[in-house]
Structure 1
Amino acid sequence: MPAEIPHLHLLAKAPLAGLAKTRLSPLLGLEGAANAHAELVRHCVANACKALSAENVTLWTALDHAHPLFTELRETFGVTLSAQPDGDLGTRVRHALNSTPGPAMLMGSDCPSITSALISTCAQQLTSFEVVILPAEDGGYGFVGTRQDYPALFEDIPWGTQSVLTTTQQRIETLGLHAAYPATIWDVDRPEDWQRWKGLAVSM
């Protein structure tokens, strides 16, 4: 039997000035930071839809579910839009992963280093491993894939700290799961990350 194609979920805030990518504001201003966030979301959705058909991609919205950016992405790519539920990051990640049957993957919308080829690699790895994670340079991770529901992977994790990945790896070991870590990625949080991304974008 051919391997089941996993569904890919993306989490994204609406690009509202003062509420999105505020750590970029010293470089870009609040409006510029929001515009940068919109650019990153567009890039990540485009990469997702290069790797998988749009019917296998859901964009989970926050802050303003009817924002024009989300409507644009649905009309351009044909992705499904869903509203993120209340709760911490772990609650929202687990909810998204369990919202579709079969294997599922989830990524942030601020990781331009996750290419379409890397998404395809992760999907392939998920046929052999129960969990696939792309560690981030800052000690977290920007992508997770699971074959079924593992609640402990997302409960009581110190989100937003440098120990997210190590805590998650300890859980994986405790649960006796086999995990793959195909590549280390980076996300865009700080002004220097944005400059790194724009430098790469110019050279691509």
Structure 2
Amino acid sequence: MNDCLLIIFTRNPELGKVKTRLAKTIGDTPALEIYTFLLKHTFNITTQLAVTKQVHYSVKIRENDLWDSKVYIKKQQFGDDLGLRMMHAFQQGFKEGFKKIIIIGSDMYDLSQSDIENAFSELKKHNFVLGPAEDGGYYLLGMKQLKTSIFRHKNWGSDSVLKDTLVNLKDESVKLLPIRNDIDIYDDIKDVEVFQDFINNSEIKKQA
């Protein structure tokens, strides 16, 4: 059995329920369009990876969607907050026999297939890998052994998440990957060329 597992956390693409902080500036419809675009990007950079791939849905598993069930194993997230949901996903993965597990979200444009391949490669040499995000969180987490403290007592969505996680890992073998920009608010996309068409059709342009 392939001992490498990639977990992709995703939200169902529904109007008014995705990229809500971004939507406050550009409107619900462009925010949904951007999220759908990011889902397709995540699909494109993961579908050819030579590892086992799981998609974990936030609300409800969908059968006939972007994620081909021949390529992606579909699962349901569970837990009261993001940390517990990630912890349960890792626990399940290790219980299923995987030795190297990486988790990413489904909304990182600043991420490529080679970035994920490199993360798995670094996981051969280190027990943990972390991809720092510009906003103080992280866009990727990988481990070879479960450490539950990573997932507890964090202010998820704040700029302290990476710092607090590194405190939990201070005595561990950790590889930090290059810093990447994740997309939560308007400032994350306003100067990125690929998002300009979305912005031009958004509330912010209508109000200008």
TM-score, length of structure 1 as denominator length: 0.85
Aligned counterpart, 2:87: 94
Q: 3-state SS of the aligned residue for 1:86?
A: coil
**2:12 is equivalent to residue 44 of structure 1:** no
Report sequence identity in percent: 23
**2:146 is equivalent to residue 146 of structure 1:** no
Q: 3-state SS of the aligned residue for 2:30?
A: helix
Q: 3-state SS of the aligned residue for 2:169?
A: helix
Aligned positions of 1:105-120 closer than 5 A: 105-120=102-117
Aligned-pair distance for 1:148? 1.3
Structure 1 Cα separation of the partners of residues 128 and 114 of structure 2: 18
Match of 2:131 among 108, 123, 134: 134
What are structure 1's unaligned runs of at least 5 residues? none
Aligned-pair distance for 1:201? 9.6
Aligned-pair distance for 1:198? 4.1
Q: Is the Cα contact below 8 Å between 2:190 and 2:196 reproduced in 1?
A: no
| Greater percentage in helix | 1
Count residues in correspondence.
192
What are structure 2's unaligned runs of at least 5 residues? 198-208
- Pick closer, same or farther for the CA change 1:150–1:119 going to 2, 3 Å: same
Aligned counterpart, 1:123: 120
Aligned-pair distance for 1:192? 3.0
Q: 3-state SS of the aligned residue for 1:75?
A: coil
Q: C-alpha deviations, 1:63-85, integer Å up to 9, x for none?
A: 3433xxx6322338721111111
TM-score, length of structure 2 as denominator length: 0.84
**2:177 is equivalent to residue 182 of structure 1:** yes
Aligned-pair distance for 1:8? 0.4
Aligned-pair Cα RMSD in Å: 2.2
Larger radius of gyration: 2
Aligned-pair distance for 1:23? 2.1
Structure 1 Cα separation of the partners of residues 111 and 179 of structure 2: 9
Aligned-pair distance for 1:45? 2.3
Q: Is the Cα contact below 8 Å between 1:132 and 1:180 reproduced in 2?
A: yes
